[in-house]
A and B are shown apart, each in its own frame.
Chain A
């Protein structure tokens, strides 16, 4: 056979290289890192005009300048302070005013509270409380309270032994301990007034959330969605700690406090005892639905809004049905606890998409008139605007990369699940976005009435998930799934998005290398503060996202920034450094990155965090020089 000519051989070789190489390059998942991340904001859209802006609820009152009495700043959940001494112009010179070490090396998620000239600091397990006297330039400890929770409670906390802070009302400080007790302290002296036990650690129950005080009730949920704990929200009498009412998240209507005043907007939520009938027999008893996140309060309607956690186990084939009332939002009468409406953002949840994120109470112009809504970035990756009187979803748009649901059907209210991303027994489902911590986990966003934007510190993570059999043994995890997470498209793992709830789109975005696990703070100086997992505390311009100032702290930041006016009349910004939580567990728990399924899959995404930060809790308080 004659040899082919040389030019033909060369052409063929080049073609083969181009075709094969192109297939490899184009076919590879988009995981390259565009970096450097975190230094620039991408402008996406115009700022909304004042008439087309979301605005605070009619009854909203900004907190007093020398007060920050609840973790979200105020009952509407805005994390906004009108203090404007620190502005975009002068924040560049912000410096450390003082620090306070907690001698605690776990994840610090709480924000300190300030009332008058005292600052109250809470720590992760063992949940110590310090009162600091702010009248001194170097604040001193006025009193130190040690609740001494049970040591064994550390073994049933899913996501580091964190505590999301205290709440202050009427001279009393309220906090929850890891072993499930709610404690009231006299704010002046630190004397314990009462303590009520709400959880049983032998059943896997703990409490990590911050309480909310409203109309004489202290509202406390419970944690344990990974342990088959039956979720419930309890209201305690502020004065005595006695149980006023308790509303379960699963089970018969009488225990869920569903009665004739319950008027859910969507058909699938209407019917008797759905908390029993949408589960396999007895599944609701170990079904999860734990409210461990944020509660908002509308004093005009006397209603509270909070979300319930994931159903248990993670493995969905073991609990057929919609699994009510998990992974959804309840609106209840704060005095009686009776439910008014419910919206389930993840019926028959497949991906551990708890619905416990913050609900910011706003009034927004919708189709010509002002509607009272809750605006919330959900775990599912959608930003929901829901009418807070009826429970109707007005809009639901993805703020993060989502392929697990195609969209939210606004007629039925249900997500249209992508069948390719449904977990199957004996198989691994790949590239599910968002991953289990969702588009955003617990860390709360902030709303600025000056810009009408919600500032969302969130995630860009996807995961592979494989189902296995789950087994229920009380006090041990009830999961049935192995997951491993990794960066989503673009290679960055965190995003700070400024979202316009009326325009239903992002206005600007900052892509961050590491997942954002800290809360956000918006101030009257048109600044937004947030922190990164490797310890950079940043101030960006609220209008454009431009990075104006940053400072490296001694440990990664998973806490919530807050601001106050000190006794000397200056504005201070406070933030805890202390890496940990679910995302930072690899550092706080010294986990082994060789096992990608560690920390419920997070370790796979954060192997590079180990050399970038160290554990250790320290409160940083910043102010302008002078």
Chain B
């Protein structure tokens, strides 16, 4: 009889986890009202997931591919022509930039721009691992963020041609 008491106490252990903070989905984008928007958006997995959806919907992928670039520069590396902080990325998205980035101010809302910046930040490897989703909300043709690893910037060096004279 006495050996059962400590065992049953063990069953109470999970109750200690009740106090842990669980992230809530910020539907109303209350993060916009926060004093520290980069953290309010940038540390929130819901906003990251929404940014991932908007990246495809707003045709960002058309110019920047899945971070590798194309018509627009790559977003996965650590070179930022106009600044790589969250505020700078939001300004880039909303106001556009001189050499071809269109202005999305009247095409998306401000909280959507922050969500996109959160996702772009994750593409360049600066998001917390526990925020990344194992899959997107839609079938995708590229690997999920959890499997994506940021590559260092490659330097271009000329090399001798491979083909040798026969």
**Interface pairs A-B: 9 shortest CB-CB:** A155-B100, A477-B62, A595-B68, A598-B68, A466-B141, A482-B141, A476-B59, A154-B100, A592-B74
What B residues does A334 contact at CB under 8 A?
none
- Give the nearest-CB partner of B148 in chain A: A594
Identify B159's interface contact among A473, A594, A612, CB under 8 A: A612
In the complex, A256 has a CB within 8 A of chain B: no
Decide yes or no: A428 and B77 within 8 Å by CB, A479-B62, A534-B161, A610-B156 being known contacts: no
Q: Are A597 and B58 in contact (CB under 8 A)?
A: no
Contact A611 B158 (CB under 8 A): yes
- Cα A466 to Cα B141 in complex, Å, equals 6
Segment of A1-9, A33-41, A303-311 in the binding face = A33-41
Secondary structure at the A interface, as helix, strand, loop or mixed, is loop
When the two chains form their complex, are residues A613 and B102 in contact, meaning their CB atoms are under 8 A apart? no
Interface positions of B (Cβ within 8 A of A): 56-59, 61-63, 65-74, 76-77, 79, 96, 98-102, 107, 138-142, 151, 154, 156-159, 161-166
Of the A-B pairs whose beta carbons lie under 8 Å apart in the complex, a sample of 17, sorted by A's number, is A37-B163, A152-B99, A155-B72, A468-B141, A471-B57, A473-B58, A475-B102, A476-B62, A478-B62, A552-B161, A590-B156, A593-B68, A594-B67, A598-B69, A600-B65, A611-B158, A614-B158
The residue in chain B whose Cβ has the minimal distance to the Cβ of A226 is B62
| Contact of B66 with A597 in the complex, beta carbons under 8 Å | yes
B61 to A: closest C-beta gap in Å: 8
A156 at the interface (CB under 8 A from B): yes
Closest residue of chain B to A481 (Cβ to Cβ) is B141
- Contact at B157–A611, with CB atoms within 8 Å? yes
A222, CB-defined interface residue at 8 Å: no
Separation of A477 and B59 alpha carbons in the complex (Å): 6
Interface of B is mostly: loop
Would you call A611 and B156 a contact (CB within 8 A)? Answer: yes
Contact of A597 with B141 at beta-carbon distance under 8 Å, contacts A471-B57, A476-B59 already known: yes
Interchain CA distance A40-B156 in the complex, whole Å: 29
Q: Is A360 an interface residue (CB 8 A)?
A: no
Contacts of B69 in A (CB 8 A): 589-592, 595, 598-599
Q: How many whole Å from B91's CB to the nearest CB in chain A? A: 16
Residues of B near A603 (CB, < 8 A) are 65, 68
**Cα–Cα distance between A153 and B100 once the two chains are bound (Å):** 6
Instruction: Check: A393 CB closer than 8 A to any chain B CB.
Output: no
Q: Which of B62, B74, B157 has the most CB of A within 10 A?
A: B62
The reply to whether the CB of A513 lies closer than 8 angstroms to some CB of chain B is yes
Shortest Cβ distance from A475 into B: residue: B102
Q: How far is the CB of B21 from chain A (nearest CB, A)?
A: 34
Residues of B near A589 (CB, < 8 A) are 69-70, 73
In the complex, the answer to whether A38 meets B62 with C-beta atoms within 8 Å is no
* Interfacial chain A residues near B100, Cβ < 8 Å: 151-157
Q: What per-residue 1/0 map shows which CB atoms of A121-164 lie under 8 Å from chain B?
A: 00000000000000000000000000000011111111100000
The answer, among B67, B77, B99, B166, for a CB contact under 8 Å with A39, is B166
**Does A478 contact B67, Cβ atoms closer than 8 Å?**
no
Q: Please, which residues of chain A bring their CB within 8 A of the CB of B79?
A: 590
Residues of B contacting A595 in the complex (Cβ-Cβ under 8 angstroms): 65-69, 74, 76, 142
Most buried by B among A37, A158, A426, A611: A611
Docked Cα-Cα span, A153 to B164, in Å, equals 42
Number of residue pairs spanning A and B whose beta carbons lie under 8 angstroms apart: 151
In the complex the two chains form, what is the Cα distance from A478 to B65 in whole Å? 13
Number of interface residues of A (CB under 8 A): 53
| Set of chain A residues within 8 Å of B68, measured between Cβ atoms | 591-599, 603
A597 and B63 contact, CB distance less than 8 A:
no
Residues of A at under 8 Å CB distance from B?
35-40, 151-159, 226, 426, 428, 466, 468-469, 471, 473, 475-479, 482, 513, 534, 536, 552, 585, 587, 589-600, 603, 610-614
> Bound complex: CA of A39 vs CA of B100, how far in Å?
41
Other A-B pairs, 13, CB within 8 Å; known A468-B141, A473-B58, A614-B158: A428-B141, A469-B57, A476-B59, A476-B63, A482-B61, A585-B70, A589-B70, A590-B79, A592-B77, A595-B68, A595-B74, A599-B70, A614-B156
Residues from chain B with a CB closer than 8 A to the CB of A594 are: 67-68, 76, 151
Distance in angstroms between the alpha carbons of A614 and B154 in the assembled complex: 13
Residues A35 and B74 in contact, CB atoms below 8 Å apart: no
In the complex, what distance in Å separates the CA atom of A477 from the CA atom of B70? Answer: 11
Q: With a CB–CB cut-off of 8 A, which chain A residues contact B67?
A: 592, 594-595
Residues of B within 8 A of A593 (CB): 68, 154
B110 CB to closest chain A CB, in angstroms? Answer: 17
Knowing A151-B98, A151-B99, A468-B141, the reply to whether A158 touches B156 (Cβ < 8 A) is: no
What residues of B have a CB within 8 angstroms of the CB of A36 in the complex? 162-164, 166
Cβ distance A231 to chain B, nearest Cβ, rounded Å: 18
- Residue in A428, A473, A592 whose beta carbon sits within 8 Å of that of B76 in the complex: A592
> Closest Cβ of chain B: how far from A419's Cβ, in Å?
21
Query: Which residue of the partner chain, among B62, B70, B158, contacts A591 with CB atoms under 8 Å?
Result: B70
Check if B65 sits within 8 Å of A513, measured CB to CB: no
- Please give, as numbers and ranges, the residues of chain B lying within 8 Å of A477 by CB-CB distance: 59, 62-63, 71
Q: In the complex, which residues of chain A have a beta carbon less than 8 angstroms from the beta carbon of B156? A: 587, 590, 610-611, 614
Complex CA distance for A477 and B72, rounded to whole angstroms: 11
- Tell me how far the C-beta of B120 lies from the nearest C-beta in chain A, rounded to whole angstroms: 13
Assembly CA distance A482 to B138 (angstroms): 14
- What is the bound-complex CA distance between A156 and B141, given in angstroms? 24
| Chain B residues closer than 8 Å to A468, beta-carbon distance | 56, 138, 140-141
Residues in A whose Cβ lies below 8 Å from that of B107: 473
Q: A599 with B65: in contact, given A151-B99, A468-B56, A482-B141 (CB under 8 Å)? A: yes
Nearest A residue to B63 via CB reads A477
Q: How far is A466 from B138 in the complex, measured between Cα atoms in Å?
A: 13
**Which residues on the A side are within 8 Å of B161 (C-beta)?**
534, 536, 552, 612
